[in-house]
Amino acid sequence: MEESSESPLVLLHRPPSLVFMDELLGRNYRILDINTSSDPLPIFLSRHAASARAFVNIARLPVTAELLSLLPNLEIIICTSVGVDHIDLAECKRRGVAVTNAGDAFSEDVADSAVGLLISVLRRVPAADRYVRSGNWKKFGDYQLGSKVSGKRVGIVGLGSIGSFIAKRLEPFGCIISYNSRSQKQSIPYKYYSDVLSLAANNDVLILCCSLNDETRHIVNREVMESLGKDGVIINVGRGGLIDEKEMVKCLVQGVIGGAGLDVFENEPEVPVELFGLDNVVLSPHSAMITPGSFKNVEDVAFANLKAFFSNQPLISPVQFD
Amino acid sequence: MEESSESPLVLLHRPPSLVFMDELLGRNYRILDINTSSDPLPIFLSRHAASARAFVNIARLPVTAELLSLLPNLEIIICTSVGVDHIDLAECKRRGVAVTNAGDAFSEDVADSAVGLLISVLRRVPAADRYVRSGNWKKFGDYQLGSKVSGKRVGIVGLGSIGSFIAKRLEPFGCIISYNSRSQKQSIPYKYYSDVLSLAANNDVLILCCSLNDETRHIVNREVMESLGKDGVIINVGRGGLIDEKEMVKCLVQGVIGGAGLDVFENEPEVPVELFGLDNVVLSPHSAMITPGSFKNVEDVAFANLKAFFSNQPLISPVQFD
C-alpha cells in the first residue's frame, strides 16, 4: 500500500517514551498521533480524528462512550494489551466497532513472571535478598526458611493461553494443577472447579490470570481468602480489580492467608502502604506482561490485525463480545 | 535395637537451634552431642569420643585430618548436606572412613531455588519489589523492563540430580539446555560441552550446581565470564568457591556479564559489599537447599545410611572417593 491521501487514517496513542510500530504503521497508513498535540483530547479528536477508521491504542487510553462518540467513523480498536478492561466493550458492540488484543504475544512473559512471583513468595527471594543486602546475614545468621514449591496444589483462575503456559511450566515442579474458568475445557487433564471458592478450598496457591469484567470483579473476596487459608498464597498477574484489595491487605496483615505476589493493583500506581512492610509479599509494578524480547511479537500481532482488517481478512486476535 | 551400653556410640554435631534426628538417633544409638560440652573440641573429643564409630555431622563441622586423628574408631561420617567440601575426603579414604551425603533429599528445593533465582535476575523481581516499596513507581512511573526467560539458552555445570531437576523445570519455558560435567551422560538429550569455556560461549545463562573440589574451584574465572558476555547471567546454587568471586564482582560492576543470582559465596556469611548496590544481582543467604517440607527427607536419608552401615547393608548415598 502506498502512502497517499487515500491511505486510511489511523489514530495512534502510545507512551511518549515508546518508539513502537512507527515504521510499520507509517509505511502503510496515515498516522494521527495523539501525542503530537497539546490540545485537550476531545478538541483534538473532534477537529482531526473524525475520519479515523482505526485506533491503535498502545498506551491503554480509556475508551469511553464519550470518546467513541467523537470518532464517528471508527471501525476497529487495536489494543496491544491482553486485558481490554479500559475499553467500553458494550458501546463498541453497539456501534459495531471491532476490538483486538495482544493475543498470545505476552503469554510467555506473563507465565514466566507468574512462576517467578510464586517461587519468590514461597522461597522469600526478595525478602532474603533484602536480608543479605542489609548486612543481617552476617549480624544475625541464617534467614528463616521458605516454603517448598515442589508438590504444591496450584489453582489457576482463567485457563486461557497464559493460564495454560503457567500450568505447563509448573508441571515439572510436581505441582498439582486445577483450574476455574467460565466453562470446563475439553481435553484438559486438570481438575475443574466451577467456582473460585471451592478452587481455593482445595489448593495451596491461587494464580489469577483471567480477564477483568463485571463477573470477575472481586472474584477473590474475604470468603475465598479464608477458604484458601493461613498458608495459602495468591499470585495476581491479571488485573488488580480481581481481588478485593482492602480485604486482601487485612488478610495478609492478620495472617488469614500466607502470602501474595502481586503484579497488579486496583488503583495503579497506588499500592496499599500496609504491604510495604510485609516480607511474605512480593510487589511488582505491572511489569509481568512484557520484556523487550516480546515487543516484536506484540508489534506483529497488532500490525497483522490492522492489515487483516483493511484487507477484509479475519482478525488475528479479536476480542469476543458477550 | 535396644539402647544399652552395647549400642554403638554416635557422635553428633548440629546447629544448637535445630531439633533434628533426636528422636530417631536416641532410640537406636548412644548419642554424644558435641553441643552439650563447653570444653574445647579437641579436648572433648579425645576425652569422650574415642570409641565413636559414626559421626552425624549436621552443622557442617569441618572434618580435618587433625580432627580425624582424635576419632581412631570412626568408620563413617553421615553428612546432611549435598556438598562435602568441608570433609577431608583424602584423609577419610586413607583411614577407610566412609562418607555419605544428603543424596537427593535437597534436589527439588535447590532446583526450585535455581529457577526462582534465574527468573528473579532476568525479570528483576527483587529490584522491582524495592522500586514499588520505596514509592518510586508512583513518583517516577514504569520500572525498566527485564529480560525474557522463555527461550534462553541455559548451560548447566554439573548434571547430577539437582542439575537434572533444573533442566526438567526449564524445559517447558522453551529454554534450550546444554551441560558440562566430568563426562558425557548416556541417554541424556542435552548437548554436552567438555569444558565450561565453550559452555559459556554458547549460552545466555550458566547455572552452577556441581560439587566443589580441586578440579572445580574457580571453574568460572574471568575468561569464562568474558565468554558468557555482557547479557549473560550466572546462577550459583553450588558452592561459592566455584566462581572467582573477586573477578565476578569486577565483571558485574564493569558490565562484562549481565547479572547473577547467588545463593553461595566464597567466604560466607561475608558477601562482597560491592554487590549490595547492584540491581542486576539477586543475593540469597545459602538458603536454596532446604525448606521445612524437606527436613523429613533429609532425616530419612541420614538415618537410613546410619542404619545400613550398622547392619552391613549397602549405603544409600555414599560419597565416591576419587
Q: Is the pLDDT of residue A15 over 90?
A: no
What number of C-beta contacts closer than 8 Å exist between A and B?
A: 172
Contacts of A285 in chain B (CB under 8 A): 128, 131-132, 137, 142-143
Measured in residues, chain B has a length of 322
- Measured distance CA(A209)–CA(A142) in Å, rounded: 35
Backbone angles phi, psi at A31, to 5 degrees: -105, 130
Q: Which of A20, A122, A145 to mutate to test the interface with B (most CBs of B within 10 A)?
A: A145
Residue of B64 and B295 predicted with greater confidence: B64
Q: Render A208-243 in DSSP notation, one character per residue.
A: E-SPPSTTTTT-B-HHHHHHH-TT-EEEE-S-GGGB
- Measured distance CA(B216)–CA(A310) in Å, rounded: 61
CATH number (3.40.309.10, 3.30.360.10, 3.40.50.720, 3.40.50.1100) of B9-103+292-310 reads: 3.40.50.720
pLDDT in tens, A59-101: 889 999 999 999 999 999 999 988 899 999 999 999 999 999 9
- Asked if B128 lies within 8 A of A284 by C-beta distance, the reply is yes
DSSP class of residue A319 equals P
Q: Is A184 exposed, middle or buried (0-12, 13-18, 19+ CB in 10 A)?
A: middle
> For the domain B107-283, what is the CATH code?
3.40.50.720
Q: Which of B147, B231, B284 to mutate to test the interface with A (most CBs of A within 10 A)?
A: B284
Residue of A270, A283, A288 lying closest to B129 (CB–CB): A283
Q: Is the pLDDT of residue B183 over 70?
A: yes
Q: Is the pLDDT of residue B211 over 60?
A: yes
Q: Is the pLDDT of residue A116 over 80?
A: yes
Closest CA to A37 of A45, A27, A28, A29: A45
- Asked if A169 lies within 8 A of B174 by C-beta distance, the reply is no
| Nearest-Cα residue of chain B relative to residue A139 | B269
Residue of A145, A171, A173 lying closest to B287 (CB–CB): A145
- Asked if B151 lies within 8 A of A294 by C-beta distance, the reply is no
Scanning chain B, the segments in alpha helix (DSSP H) are: 22-28, 41-48, 65-69, 89-95, 107-122, 125-133, 136-140, 161-170, 196-201, 222-228, 245-254, 292-310
Q: Is the pLDDT of residue B2 over 60?
A: no
Q: Is the pLDDT of residue B203 over 80?
A: yes
* Predicted pLDDT of residue B215: 94
Query: In the predicted model, what is the mean pLDDT of residues B244-262?
Result: 98
pLDDT in tens, A131-166: 999 999 999 999 988 999 999 999 999 999 999 999
A268 a catalytic residue: yes
- Measured distance CA(B85)–CA(B214) in Å, rounded: 10
pLDDT in tens, B275-314: 999 999 999 999 988 888 888 888 899 999 999 999 999 9
Q: Is B182 exposed, middle or buried (0-12, 13-18, 19+ CB in 10 A)?
A: exposed
Contacts of B126 in chain A (CB under 8 A): 120, 125-126, 129-130
- Asked if A293 lies within 8 A of B147 by C-beta distance, the reply is yes
Q: Is the pLDDT of residue A1 over 60?
A: no
CA distance B311 to chain A (A): 33
Comma-separated ranges of CATH 3.40.50.720 domains in chain B: 9-103+292-310, 107-283
Closest CA to A155 of A207, A226, A220: A207
3-state secondary structure B17-38: CCCCCHHHHHHHCEEEEHHHCC
Q: Is the pLDDT of residue A21 over 90?
A: no
Contacts of A120 in chain B (CB under 8 A): 116, 119-120, 125-126, 129
CATH class of A9-105+292-310: alpha beta
B268 a catalytic residue: yes
- Asked if B109 lies within 8 A of A291 by C-beta distance, the reply is no
Contacts of A142 in chain B (CB under 8 A): 285-287
Closest CA to B217 of B181, B179, B244, B247: B244
Calculate the average pLDDT of chain A.
Answer: 94
* Predicted pLDDT of residue A2: 41
Comma-separated ranges of CATH 3.40.50.720 domains in chain A: 9-105+292-310, 107-283
Closest CA to B155 of B233, B90, B88: B233
- Measured distance CA(B285)–CA(B117) in Å, rounded: 12
Residue of B125, B149, B276 lying closest to A282 (CB–CB): B125
A223 a catalytic residue: no
Q: Is the pLDDT of residue A244 over 50?
A: yes
Residue of B112, B129, B171 lying closest to A150 (CB–CB): B112
Residue that has been written with the C-alpha cell 491479571 in this structure: A238
| Active-site pick, B3, B66, B268, B274 | B268
- Measured distance CA(A105)–CA(A20) in Å, rounded: 15
- % of chain B surpassing 70 pLDDT: 98
DSSP class of residue B194 equals S
Is residue A23 classed as helix, strand or coil in its secondary structure? helix
- Measured distance CA(B117)–CA(A266) in Å, rounded: 28
* Per-position b or e across A223-234, b if 16+ CB within 10 A of its CB: ebbbbbeeebbb
Contacts of B125 in chain A (CB under 8 A): 116-117, 120, 125-126, 282, 284
Contacts of A117 in chain B (CB under 8 A): 125
| Nearest-Cα residue of chain B relative to residue A274 | B133
Closest CA to B295 of B100, B75, B14: B14
* Predicted pLDDT of residue A5: 55
DSSP class of residue A305 equals H
- Measured distance CA(B99)–CA(B105) in Å, rounded: 16
- Measured distance CA(B108)–CA(A146) in Å, rounded: 13
DSSP class of residue B270 equals B
CA distance B115 to chain A (A): 8
How many CA atoms does the CB half-sphere of A321 hold within 13 Å? 13
